[in-house]
Amino acid sequence: MDKDIERKGILAESSQYVKGVGPARQVLLSRMGVENVEDLILHFPRKYYDRRNLSKIVEIKPGVDSGFAGTVLAISLRRLGSRRSLLTVATGDESGVINLVFFNQPYLEKQFKQGDKIIASGMARIYRGQKQLVAPEYEILTGELGDELMHTGRVVPVYPLTAGISQRMMRRIVKAALDKAGSEIPENLPAKMLESGGMMPRVLALRQIHYPDSWESLEEAGRRLKFEEIFYLHLLVMLRKRKLAEGKPRPEIHPPHDLVKRFIGSLPFKMTSAQKKVLGEIRADVESKKGLSRLLQGDVGSGKTIVGLISMLMAVGGGLQSAMMVPTEILAQQHFRKMKQYFSDLPVKVELLIGSLGASEKKRIHAGIASGEIDLVVGTQALIQEGIDFRQLGLAVIDEQHRFGVRQRARLGQGELIPHFLVMTATPIPRSLAQTVYGDLDLSVIDELPFGRRRVRTEIVGEREAEMVYDRVKKGFAAGKQAFFLYPLVEESEKSDLKAAVDEFERLQKEHFREFPLGLLHGRMSFEEKSRAIDMFSSGEILGLVTTTVIEVGVDIPNASMLLINHPERFGLAQLHQLRGRVGRGGDEGECYLLTGKPDDAKIAKRLEYFSTTSDGFKVAEMDLKLRGPGEVWGLRQSGYTVFRLINPLSDRDIVEKSWKECRDLLERDPKLDMPENMVVSDYFWKYYKPRMELADIG
Ligand code: ADP
Ligand code: MG
């Protein structure tokens, strides 16, 4: 049989047939996404126990995690009631005796026989004068000590589990999968690269990551597997970038146009030099052959919207259409209103397209988009629904892009030409990570806030001192200021003791702010209700807005200068920073109060303390990434981006850099990856990354 087919065969074989699995357990494994032998092999331990050092029983001390090798002396099972039982296995070595104790697992009795050689480890204690290990990890030895140990007497893997699969079971199953696959696990890096990088062969690394011979070989295996993980991501982004550059052409745009100049001239402020620098980069891109595919990062309030608008006008001025896609209807409407105002004297036809429009209104806008009558459209995902057909989309801006997935962006690129596109975000991503996740995009940063913008004063206050903060808010109200009261939940639930906006709205209005009108805004209200609440708040009809994270993205109400965040410990730091960005946008200095219910929790206090003393959003985001990892901060999992399995691009920067370089060199030497020695790479890539390559049309 052809060797390759045989290989694929084993790894692709259902995990059901691995020794110790069977149909019932397969159902449980499927819950963890484990379907075949390969999935089991790639089911990495989440940590390890060092169970190598075996003690003499006499040396075992209470309160210490210890292991020993001994012989089973006696077994006794006591029933303590209908469901309760106590199994005691007395074991001994030449130095003494210790009891292994198992509660409510009577079936274990059959596993032990007098005279069995055994290794056990766990936390020791003294009970009625006797040494015990309660529910220890153990292994009954059949061969020599050191042979085939799985559960103790070595560095032991600890796996992520699912209900119904125990740690011991999982270890046995993974071991069986490794044995079954044997040496048939294919290498996926060229021999030269392994050699020059001093890396382990893949098959060895996969065995060592599960059953390491030592901490050193575990470390080495980890580095090898991290490298391969990041290497294929780098290859993916480099090939995507190449496809974008060589693929469908981009629309021709030749700014500067009169329109852009007139618009900039009409603004009530001067562009910051950072904004100008970025606009220069954007203009160079749209005029170049490779086109504009750029990620724009800039702190909250750094003025990204204007940069997006001007980019759109570059296309509109050249007779093409532009679109801006944003994550919420509220934000779309806010941008739309601003644009109408900005463009009132310019020959630019702007429309709003969101899901809550009436059917006839939608139809009219769809028609205007198709005929080209509409120059510029701002909207939500409604922009990428079936039936939207631009006459000629020249440039697309995607705001707060981390809220969207790759697939959604890809849909904007389905016409004959790929539009130029600019994606904008206020949750910055460190360069080493950006290179990996967005390596196919060029990167621009607005690293300067508009002149005169001051930092938001941030104070941590215990919930018990809320009264004091309310008094300050009342004074603020009396002086014409406005406030957001922010809560993590919309409605109270039995499951949590978190305060919720709906209930708190009534309480605040009745008990604390009788003489000041408050309003309510949350995600479960209809678009009309939301829009009304925002209008009333903007116009000053209500002074306080009791709300949730619906205001997180982009809401711009300059008169709001006070923000009270309840249960701040529930939010990530980057999110808190977004929220804080809602205030202090107008003339008054912003004030942010973090009303924590856990003022005594040291870890929370430290986090909030960092936040309250750091106003630079990039630093805040970096700290958040450190604390919670990129998956959480960027919602990577939900949005279809990469979730890192082993590598942490922040702490493994050296591996990231090495991989980037190796990958670039490889593509330079062998652009098509068709040299025989590189076939391992192209085979693996096309087998595992093809679907993600197909999303490459835009971003
Ligand atoms: P973000 O980068 O968070 O999206 P916005 O684009 O919403 O920020 O800008 C925040 C506010 O700053 C807006 O009210 C905008 O009109 C204003 N702004 C933008 N650029 C400048 C500038 N160069 N000078 C003064 N104000 C500016
Ligand atoms: Mg914005």
**Interval 59-73: pLDDT, tens:** 999 988 888 889 999
So what's the pLDDT on residue 585? 80
Probe ligand 1: pick from 342, 556, 583, max atoms within 8 Å of CB?
556
- Mean pLDDT over 78-94 rounds to 91
Domain boundary among 394, 420, 446: 446
Indicate the SS3 state at residue 586. Answer: coil
C-alpha–C-alpha distance, residues 457 and 635, integer Å: 28
- Residue 559 in any domain: the answer is yes
Give ∠ CA 421-427-432 in degrees, rounded to 5: 85
- Mean pLDDT over 239-264 rounds to 82
pLDDT band at 689 (very low <50, low <70, confident <90, very high): confident
Residue ranges with CB less than 5 Å from ion ligand 2: 554
Q: Which of 24-28, 233-237, 383-387 is the least confident region?
A: 383-387
Of 464, 429, 468, 465, nearest in space to 445 by CA: 429
* Judgement on whether residues 294 and 379 belong to the same structural domain of the protein: yes
- Cα of 522 vs centre of ligand 2, distance in Å, is 19
- Mean pLDDT over 268-279 rounds to 94
State the SS3 of 273-324: HHHHHHHHHHHHHHHCCCCCEEEEEECCCCCHHHHHHHHHHHHHHCCCEEEE
**The CATH number of the domain where 82 resides is what?**
2.40.50.140
Beta bridge mates, 88: 76, 101
Indicate the SS3 state at residue 510. Answer: helix
C-alpha–C-alpha distance, residues 638 and 627, integer Å: 19
CB atoms within 10 A of CB 699: 26
C-alpha–C-alpha distance, residues 364 and 382, integer Å: 14
- Mean pLDDT over 446-458 rounds to 84
- Cα of 82 vs centre of ligand 1, distance in Å, is 70
Q: Which of 65-74, 237-246, 473-482 is the least confident region?
A: 237-246
Q: Please report the DSSP string for 614-650 in residue order.
A: ---HHHHHHHHHHHHHHHHHTTHHHHT----SS--TT
HSE-up (13 A, CA, CB side) for residue 155: 17
pLDDT at 335 over 90: yes
Q: Whose CA is nearest to atom 1 of ligand 1?
A: 301
Probe ligand 1: pick from 273, 275, 276, 305, max atoms within 8 Å of CB?
305
Could you tell me how many residues make up the chain? 699
* Judgement on whether residues 329 and 268 belong to the same structural domain of the protein: yes
So what's the pLDDT on residue 152? 65
pLDDT band at 464 (very low <50, low <70, confident <90, very high): confident
pLDDT at 144 over 70: no
pLDDT band at 3 (very low <50, low <70, confident <90, very high): very low
**Interval 558-591: pLDDT, tens:** 889 999 999 999 888 988 998 998 898 877 889 9
- Residue 438 in any domain: the answer is yes
Domain boundary among 558, 586, 614: 614
**Interval 6-61: pLDDT, tens:** 445 788 899 999 999 999 999 999 998 899 999 999 999 988 877 777 889 999 99
- Cα of 306 vs centre of ligand 1, distance in Å, is 7
pLDDT band at 145 (very low <50, low <70, confident <90, very high): very low
Probe ligand 1: pick from 263, 267, 269, max atoms within 8 Å of CB?
269
So what's the pLDDT on residue 475? 95
Kindly state the tokens that stand for 509: 């209005």
Indicate the SS3 state at residue 35. Answer: coil
So what's the pLDDT on residue 469? 94
C-alpha–C-alpha distance, residues 601 and 585, integer Å: 32
Q: Whose CA is nearest to atom 18 of ligand 1?
A: 303
* Judgement on whether residues 313 and 375 belong to the same structural domain of the protein: yes
The helix (run of H) or strand (run of E) holding residue 596 is: strand 591-596
Which atom of ligand 1 is the closest one to the Cα of 302? 2
CB 418 within 8 A of CB 291: yes
- Cα of 337 vs centre of ligand 2, distance in Å, is 14
CB 132 within 8 A of CB 123: no
* Judgement on whether residues 601 and 466 belong to the same structural domain of the protein: yes
Indicate the SS3 state at residue 176. Answer: helix
- Cα of 305 vs centre of ligand 2, distance in Å, is 6
Q: What is the pTM of this model?
A: 0.73
Kindly state the tokens that stand for 33: 């996404």
So what's the pLDDT on residue 403? 60
- Residue 225 in any domain: the answer is no
* Judgement on whether residues 9 and 138 belong to the same structural domain of the protein: no
CB 564 within 8 A of CB 576: no
- Residue 474 in any domain: the answer is yes
Residues with C-beta less than 6 Å from any ligand 1 atom: 269-272, 275, 298, 300-306, 426, 450, 554, 556, 585
C-alpha–C-alpha distance, residues 205 and 182, integer Å: 13
- Cα of 301 vs centre of ligand 2, distance in Å, is 7
- Cα of 72 vs centre of ligand 2, distance in Å, is 69
* Judgement on whether residues 180 and 265 belong to the same structural domain of the protein: no
- Residue 221 in any domain: the answer is no
Using a pLDDT cut of 90, give the percent of the chain over it. 50
Q: Which tops the pLDDT comparison, 638 or 671?
A: 671
**The CATH number of the domain where 350 resides is what?**
3.40.50.300
* Judgement on whether residues 580 and 483 belong to the same structural domain of the protein: yes
Q: Whose CA is nearest to atom 24 of ligand 1?
A: 450
* Judgement on whether residues 423 and 468 belong to the same structural domain of the protein: no
Number of domains making up the chain? 4
Which atom of ligand 1 is the closest one to the Cα of 308? 6
CB 446 within 8 A of CB 297: yes
Q: Which of 137-146, 169-178, 682-691 is the least confident region?
A: 137-146
So what's the pLDDT on residue 243? 81
* Judgement on whether residues 491 and 507 belong to the same structural domain of the protein: yes
- Cα of 400 vs centre of ligand 2, distance in Å, is 7
Rg (CA), the chain: 31
Q: Which of 284-288, 329-333, 549-553 is the least confident region?
A: 549-553
* Judgement on whether residues 274 and 378 belong to the same structural domain of the protein: yes
Which atom of ligand 1 is the closest one to the Cα of 271? 23
**Interval 303-325: pLDDT, tens:** 999 999 999 999 999 889 999 99
- Cα of 399 vs centre of ligand 2, distance in Å, is 7
- Residue 180 in any domain: the answer is yes
Which atom of ligand 1 is the closest one to the Cα of 272? 23
CB atoms within 10 A of CB 511: 9
* Judgement on whether residues 266 and 386 belong to the same structural domain of the protein: yes
Kindly state the tokens that stand for 106: 């009577």
Which atom of ligand 1 is the closest one to the Cα of 558? 14
Q: What is the mean pLDDT of the chain?
A: 86
- Residue 175 in any domain: the answer is yes
- Residue 341 in any domain: the answer is yes
**Interval 516-537: pLDDT, tens:** 999 999 988 988 999 999 999 9
* Judgement on whether residues 159 and 263 belong to the same structural domain of the protein: no
DSSP-derived letter for residue 381 is G
Kindly state the tokens that stand for 643: 């979730």
Of 113, 120, 161, nearest in space to 137 by CA: 120
Sheet of strand 544-547: strand arrangement: 457-462, 591-596, 560-566, 482-486, 544-547, 518-521
So what's the pLDDT on residue 404? 62
**Nearest ligand (C-alpha, residue 448):** 1
**Interval 343-379: pLDDT, tens:** 998 999 999 999 999 999 999 999 999 999 999 999 9
Domain of residue 15, residue span: 1-51+154-185
Domain boundary among 581, 614, 647: 614
